[in-house]
Amino acid sequence: MVAILSGAGISTDSGIPDYRGPQGLWRRDPDAEKLVTYDYYMNDPDIRRRSWQMRRDSPTLAARPNAAHRAVAELEAAGAPVRVITQNVDGLHQLAGLPARKVLELHGSARSVVCTGCGAGSSLKDALARVAAGEDDPPCLDCGGILKTATVMFGQSLDPDVLAEAVAVTRACEVFLAVGTSLQVQPAAGLAGLAADHGARLVIVNAEPTPYDELADEVVREPIGTALPRLLKELAVPAT
C-alpha cells in the first residue's frame, strides 16, 4: 500500500497559498493565525467577522485539482492500493477523483460549516451567501449558535477516529510519501517517523527542509506538480 501525507504545498499549484513557506500566510501576516484559533474565534466577534471575510475572499472554493492531485487519483484508479492522509481542508483530492473513503482529512473540511452549539451542519457556500447578503457573523439557523467551518482550528483536538485510522494506514504501508508538508505540526508530522520505524520506504517531497529528512530514503526538492506524477509512475505498485 502507498500512503500519501499531503500538506499545503500540494495545493499551491491550484492557487491556494501555503502557510509556513517563504511566502506563506503565517509569515506574511502573523495575525492571520488568530482567525483560525478556536479560543480567539469563539470569544471575539471581531475575529469571527474577519474570519468570515477571509473565507469569502479565499481561493479555496474556486480551486481545481492540479497535476499532483490527478496523479494520485490516477494511481488509485489504475488499481494500486492508495490511501491519502491530508492536512489540507480544500477537498481537492476528492475533486480529482479519489474516492472520499480513501481520504483521511486530519484537519476537517473547509467546504462545510458546523454549529458549535447544536452541531448542525451546512455548506460553506450557503454561509458565505449570507455573509455576502450582509450578515457579517452569521449564526446557526437552527439554534442561533456560533458557526465555524468544519475544520480543526488551532486549539482543537483532531478527531481521534480519523487519527487512529491514519496511524493504522501508516503502520501498514510499504511506501510513505510526505508531499508538500513542513512536517512541523504534530501529530501529523510524526506519521513520517512512524512509517520509517515500521519499515516503509519514506519519500519526502517538499521545497524546504523538514525535521524528518535524515530518516528519508529519498528527499525531492523539485516542484510537486512534476515530481509527484513522476514518483508515482516510478513506484509501479502492483494492483491488488
* Residues recognised as catalytic: 107
Distance CA 54, CA 180 (A): 23
CA neighbor of 55 nearest in space, from 47, 43, 65 = 47
Question: Are 82 and 75 contacting, i.e. CB atoms less than 8 angstroms apart?
Answer: yes
Other Cβ atoms less than 10 A from the Cβ of 128: the count is 18
Strands 2-6 and 175-179: parallel
H or E element in which residue 201 lies = strand 201-205
H or E element in which residue 199 lies = none
Which residues have a Cβ under 8 Å from the Cβ of 57 and sit 6 or more positions away? none
Residue 89 DSSP label: -
Cell numbers given for 52: 468570515
Residue type for 70, please? R
Distance CA 178, CA 86 (A): 10
H or E element in which residue 131 lies = helix 124-132
- Phi, psi angles (nearest 5°) of residue 236: 45, 50
